[in-house]
Amino acid sequence: MTGRPLPIGPALHVLHVDDHAINRRLVREILGCFGHEVTDVGSGDEALDLARHRAFDLVLMDINMPGMSGIEVVRRLSAIPCWDRDTPVIALTSEVSRTLSDYIALGFSGYVPKPTTIAELMQAVDQCVKKHAAGPLVRRVA
């Protein structure tokens, strides 16, 4: 994907956690086309390290990863003192055994099944942004 970003609202700083490099690249390119800045990592440990030092507006989290699952990462994020617990976390996963309600009960803000479409991904991002807009969500990319 190339071209200029499409203005759809404030630019977000998104953390994408997925153990597959091709998935990270696709999400980075898609969100980049919409003007968002994406930091991507390949493991839960890397995500937790980043979360200790940087703020994000949104997290896209794979569930089934080697080492530490996305569910465990979400649990551990809440234990990081500087982590903003209002930061929305969307499960972006091929695991079909859980429903949206299940993911919400586990601490996620939303769920997008893989494979997904650009429209489905952006709809989930937009819904989370709108849902959390009343709070201090949008930190705007400089």
The answer to whether residue 122 sits within a structural domain is yes
AA letter at 3 = G
The answer to whether residue 75 sits within a structural domain is yes
Q: Is-above-0.75 flag for pTM?
A: yes
Q: What is the pLDDT of residue 106?
A: 95
The answer to whether residue 38 sits within a structural domain is yes
Count CB atoms within 10 A of the CB of residue 9: 14
Question: Domain tally for the chain?
Answer: 1
The answer to whether residue 66 sits within a structural domain is yes
Q: What is the pLDDT of residue 137?
A: 38
Sheet arrangement for strand 89-93: 37-41, 13-17, 58-61, 89-93, 110-113
CATH number of the domain that residue 117 is part of: 3.40.50.2300
The answer to whether residue 92 sits within a structural domain is yes
Sign of CA dihedral 80, 94, 116, 65: positive
**Range of the structural domain that residue 122 is part of:** 13-132
The answer to whether residue 138 sits within a structural domain is no
- pLDDT means per 10 residues, the chain with 142 residues, are 51 96 96 95 98 95 97 96 93 89 92 92 86 49 36
Q: What is the pLDDT of residue 19?
A: 98
The answer to whether residue 111 sits within a structural domain is yes
**Whole-angstrom distance, CA of residue 89 vs CA of residue 87:** 6
Q: Taking every pair of C-alpha atoms in the chain, what is the biggest distance, in angstroms?
A: 40
